[in-house]
Structure 1
Amino acid sequence: MKRSFGSGLLIWALLICVFSLPVTAQQIPIDEVTKITVEGNNYVSDFEILNSVQTTVGDQTNQDALRADMQSVYDMGYFSDVNIVFENYQGGLNVIFEVVENPVLKEIKISGNEGLYSRTEILNVLDLDLDTVLNVKKMNQNLKKLQSKMQDDGYILARYHDVNISEAGVLDIQITPGRLDSIEVSGNTKTEDKVVLREMPIEPGDIINIKKIQKGYQRLLRLQYFENINPELERVDSEQNLARLVINLTEGKTGKLNFGGGYSSTDGWIGFIDVSEKNLFGKGQRVGVRWQFGDSTTYSLNFYEPYLWDTDFSFGISVYDKESERTTSDDQDYTKKSRGGSISIGHPLPKDWRTSLRYKAEHVEEYWDDTEETISDDNLRSLTLSFSRDTSDNPFNPRHGTINNLSVEYAGGFLGGGMEFTKFNLDSRRYFPGFKNHALAVRMKLGLSDPREPLAGEEYDLGGSDSLRGYQQSDFDDEIPNNDLLLFNIEYRIPFNDSFTGVIFTDAGNVWDDSDKISLSDLYVGYGLGVRMNTPVGQLRLDYGWDEDNEGRLHFSIGNTF
């Protein structure tokens, strides 16, 4: 025979039985209590039981007090039944608490927890000792803790289904975790279903976890294919605890034709025409063509396939031709030409990390504008191994999460080319919520290189709108080889409305020719104010920064700094 404690009510249902029993066959006799004893207990001591009783020897019997004592004994959790009887004793009454102990716990069986928690994890939460009388009160409390843990961990449909204890002391706990019956995609007229489904880290048959659904939502949001994404869970079978996930979508524009112009502190006066498609033929592929002209001229073509042949591997290819006019710190003008391309293969890693391997081939030439004398003329062949992780909550204005990128680039050697170096790059960003809808953004960027030959145009750039504001690149050119870089950026972002955001920033950084010389006390500091404006061609950025001599400089660019 098994005792069943049900789902939710558990042993408390037995209280009804306790209150329905008379304390005696007739009414309570009124007399002095001359003795208090316990009968029926084999494992729980008299002392422990009587310690919960308020009535003492010498008291007059009182119906309400004795009922309260009986309830207190029952609430200890060790007994399936409690009663009170009386017998004459030394001119008064012996009050006898008759108890029926719960079975001695010999074994705990758990079923339905596969894919949810290990047996050890559940036992740790239940915290029940074998070879002792089952304490139902403690069991109920810890079952509630287990239910809370499942909810907190994202298993929103999981519950313990049935709890039984046999006369032999075998406790049987059945758990129903709640599984996904199916996934339905609705509202997509261009994007293929598989493009949506592959971003969801949950499949039919899996245990439903709201955190996985939220992660899939974030992935779909980062695609920037949809104006609205609304995932919903619908119950399809209460008995089997099954639900269906419906992803309701409103598709947005994924193709863009942007053109415009302006002044960039890095590239001078520029104009551009940018044609791109983020969701080519609804298959999730990206393609883009860009022409930038002015003081800097660039032609580029790129293509990216995030799931090559429906596998987890990504593939990217790009070609470019860039020519930019630059000025040294002593006002000498020179031109840098770069022509090349790259091919990359990527693959996801655990814990939201991703790795990629890129092969790059480039021809770099630099010459003086006045004499056309060649400064450098070399070929670059390199392999770059990268690791990245993005847990930010918004691709445009994040207020939570981190973005981390770590890469190692090897050039020369067996790859050929005239440049030989190894570069180590770290770019780490973190976002914090500020007052109301404000945000605090922090970045650290570290670059280290081991040049076996002069870097010849592959040095680190510092100064300008994307790094150390209040300075320009020519402030750090040609004095020393910029083999190593350390940069810190802090921004406090204040949205005024959907179109404008104000920024308060502080930057600190420097470049060195040797990593042994890197020092926090050797950093240049810039600070200032900025504004971001959302436009049809993207986010325009205008910053005004001051250097350490309080000389101001205006910076203009497109997109967030970081």
Structure 2
Amino acid sequence: MSFKSPLILLSLLLVWLGLAGAAATNLEIRKVEILGNHAFSTGHLKSLLNTHKGDKFDIRFIRLDQIRLTNFYQREGFLDVFVSADFKRKGDVVFVQFTIREGRRYFLKAVRFVGNTIVSDEKLRKMIPVQDGQPYRVPLIEEGLNQIEAYYMDHGKPYVILKPERQTVQDSLIILNLNIDENETVFIGEIRIQGLRLAKEYVVRRELQIHPGEVYSKSKIENTQSNIYSTGLFQLVSINLIPSDTSRSVVTLVINVQEKRPAWVGVRFGVSYEQVTDYGGTSGSTFDITLEGGHRNLFGSGRSLNVSAVPSYRFDFTSRSLENLRNKFQMTYVQPWLFILHTPLIVQVFYERVNFARTLARYSSFTGLAKVTHEFSNHWQLTETFSFQDVRTDSLALLPQGQDKVYSVTSTFIRDKRDNFLNPTQGYVLEFQNKLAVSTSRSPVTGGDVQNRFTRMVFQWSRYQPFRLQPRWTLASRIRGGIILDFARNGQIPVLERFYLGGSSSVRGYPERSLGPKEPGDPSVASGGKLMVLGNVELRIPLFWLFYGTVFTDAGNVWRGVGDFRISDIKVSSGSGIALMTPLGPFRFDYGRKWFPEPGEGKGEFHVGISFAF
């Protein structure tokens, strides 16, 4: 898998090490004691701590653990809990002691509402996730109060005031009395947009989720702000409410924006590790230079156009020369709204030329596509893509087909319920893709053109959940499968449409795109296949600061066709890795080790990448 490694990662790491050095010492923690606990076991409480026996002593972690224990007890109904932390030094070791005065445990007896008129007691009670008779869990009670306030804010009541009062009865039972001052219902009067320079006013107005005459809704206003930011045209968006001079029931919504510069250019440098053993190349590190530029607001309409060129180089130590392995050129046009629908239209043109140094062979690929994407309110997303691809080579040995032309229509359905895109801890992603294609390829036997019709289907399901034995850890799993149905039954599937596995994002421990059937006469080169099965399980463990550890097992392979499937062919590997969370996603190093390496194979592989494997 290719990756870009900005220098800012190294800078952040050095800053952290400097700050940590100021608070950490060379003293070692010899023992951690917890005294005074009766409701919860010592082992359970220690599992909540960042301070452990054998760690380097750091006063910051001691204070954080003191707060963590206090919050835990309050979440379980011990409202009067007091936690103290102390430590004693003896030579080069430190003894840490947490003392807990638990106090009485309180339980919720009832919740009573006063002053509510637009919503019933029953509906309000369902918003508080603590049932009568359960421990009085302060964070959950506060969560419920926030939900009630949010409900009022979304139903025209921005001036609502909640006054919770706790009444203790029978020593340990609490009645929560919630007095609600609803105040006026507020309506949106006028909506003003200020600060526009190049962008047309309709570019902002079409992103509005709230309109004049509607009741005030905080969530709709926040969604409006998010939508305006998502256009990519503005570096600042603020929304203010101005009450009417005569009544607090009518407000003017003022949207202030500050536009980004519409035209931009940039240069980026990166290092990639790529497996390019196919057809005579060698694997190794490449150096990429990305030259890019564009206009993000054509004619003030919100449409954008950008172009980029990415030459990739590798230094050959044998010949002591700099080799140009590939050149990529791309142009992208985006129309954010298609007619009156918030359905972006994206038109892209790609051209790529690849040079294989050892064989002096080369191929070029031209791709043109247009796609529309629509997001539905229930987390579903549908993308339709229409594309044309032309692959040419000057060597039939490089690609037996010599020339591939592929016309295709692709439908992609995705349901994404992850809680976080870069580092999900809960939720799942379900994806199904179906490509209908017609290809024209050169026959390796007759040299003439052979037309084929095929469908390429891929299914993937990824799940993320807290690990049962340690909820702070995340258990991630994935199942992925693909099949190509060849209607013409002549076997001529374009090389770039076949399935490949192996590498940092599929089966670690194996080189990139190395699994499955091999090219005739060259067992080191994978030729791709029509059937693919992949499974992954990974445990992600927060270590310290922004560092995560991973332990994984991957399994999968590629077969020439459905009739060639053998379960014994599945390749399995296991390994571990470390990841540093960055604004671009996790920057990770993994090592995978094969379970059953073939004769002559290495035992494992190192992998580097941006983002988790799945």
Name the TM-score class by shorter chain. Answer: 0.5 to 0.7
Q: 1:223 to 1:312 in 2, by over 3 A?
A: closer
Q: 1:332 to 1:468 in 2, by over 3 A?
A: farther
Instruction: Give TM-score, length-normalised by structure 2.
Output: 0.52
Secondary structure at 1:308's aligned position in 2? coil
Structure 1 segments unaligned to the other structure (5+ residues)? 1-136, 161-174
**1:280 pairs with 279, 285, 297, which one?**
297
- Contact 2:516-2:558 at 8 Å conserved across structures: no
Partner residue, 1:484: 531
Secondary structure at 2:504's aligned position in 1? coil
Q: How many residues align?
A: 406
Partner residue, 1:290: 309
1:201 aligns with 2:209: yes
CA shift, 1:383, in A, is: 0.9
Secondary structure at 1:145's aligned position in 2? helix
Partner residue, 2:52: none
CA distance in 2, matches of 1:398, 1:242: 41
- Contact 1:378-1:418 at 8 Å conserved across structures: no
Partner residue, 2:42: none
CA distance in 1, matches of 2:603, 2:360: 23
Q: 1:390 to 1:189 in 2, by over 3 A?
A: farther
CA distance in 1, matches of 2:248, 2:568: 61
CA distance in 1, matches of 2:414, 2:369: 18
**1:509 pairs with 556, 574, 578, which one?**
556
Partner residue, 1:546: 592
Partner residue, 1:448: 483
- Contact 2:588-2:612 at 8 Å conserved across structures: no
CA distance in 2, matches of 1:491, 1:347: 33
Q: 1:157 to 1:481 in 2, by over 3 A?
A: closer
Q: 1:368 to 1:232 in 2, by over 3 A?
A: same
CA shift, 1:148, in A, is: 5.9
CA shift, 1:381, in A, is: 0.9
Partner residue, 2:454: 421
Q: 1:300 to 1:349 in 2, by over 3 A?
A: same
**2:120 pairs with 143, 146, 149, which one?**
143
CA distance in 1, matches of 2:200, 2:515: 49
Secondary structure at 2:120's aligned position in 1? helix
- Cα deviation digits, residues 198-244 of structure 1 (max 9, x gap): 44433333444444445555555655666666656666599785555
1:465 aligns with 2:484: no
1:411 aligns with 2:446: no
CA distance in 1, matches of 2:233, 2:567: 44
- Cα deviation digits, residues 278-337 of structure 1 (max 9, x gap): 83356253523232323343222222212135643422211122234689xxx9997554
Max Rg structure: 1
**1:301 pairs with 300, 313, 331, which one?**
331
RMSD: 5.0
- Cα deviation digits, residues 447-481 of structure 1 (max 9, x gap): 22212343231111212233333222353153475
Q: 1:274 to 1:159 in 2, by over 3 A?
A: closer
Secondary structure at 2:271's aligned position in 1? strand
- Contact 2:500-2:528 at 8 Å conserved across structures: no
Residue 469 of structure 1 aligns with an amino acid whose one-letter code is R
- Cα deviation digits, residues 15-57 of structure 1 (max 9, x gap): xxxxxxxxxxxxxxxxxxxxxxxxxxxxxxxxxxxxxxxxxxx
CA distance in 1, matches of 2:464, 2:196: 32
- Contact 1:531-1:543 at 8 Å conserved across structures: yes
Residue 455 of structure 1 aligns with an amino acid whose one-letter code is I
- Contact 1:379-1:417 at 8 Å conserved across structures: no
Residue 462 of structure 1 aligns with an amino acid whose one-letter code is L
Secondary structure at 1:465's aligned position in 2? coil
Q: 1:475 to 1:354 in 2, by over 3 A?
A: closer
Instruction: Give TM-score, length-normalised by structure 1.
Output: 0.57
- Contact 2:405-2:439 at 8 Å conserved across structures: no
CA distance in 2, matches of 1:486, 1:236: 63
- Contact 1:357-1:383 at 8 Å conserved across structures: yes
Structure 2 segments unaligned to the other structure (5+ residues)? 1-113, 128-146, 158-182, 277-283, 314-324, 441-448, 519-526, 596-601
Partner residue, 2:368: 341
CA shift, 1:345, in A, is: 3.3
CA distance in 2, matches of 1:228, 1:543: 36
CA distance in 2, matches of 1:302, 1:144: 54
Map 1:11-410 to 2 at 5 A. Answer: 143-146=120-123, 154-158=151-155, 179-184=187-192, 194-216=202-224, 219=227, 241-243=249-251, 245=253, 255=264, 257-266=266-275, 268=284, 269-277=286-294, 279-281=296-298, 283=302, 285=304, 287-294=306-313, 295-308=325-338, 311-324=341-354, 337-365=364-392, 374-390=400-416, 396-397=422-423, 403-410=429-436
Sequence identity, in percent? 19
CA distance in 2, matches of 1:211, 1:398: 24
CA shift, 1:250, in A, is: 6.5
Residue 204 of structure 1 aligns with an amino acid whose one-letter code is P
Partner residue, 2:66: none
CA distance in 2, matches of 1:398, 1:184: 38
CA distance in 1, matches of 2:261, 2:504: 29
Secondary structure at 2:121's aligned position in 1? helix
Residue 498 of structure 2 aligns with an amino acid whose one-letter code is E
CA distance in 2, matches of 1:181, 1:438: 49
- Cα deviation digits, residues 258-285 of structure 1 (max 9, x gap): 3213232345424231414583356253
CA distance in 1, matches of 2:217, 2:568: 45
CA distance in 2, matches of 1:270, 1:384: 33
CA distance in 1, matches of 2:454, 2:411: 14
- Judge which range, 547-556 or 337-346, deviates more: 547-556
CA shift, 1:349, in A, is: 3.9
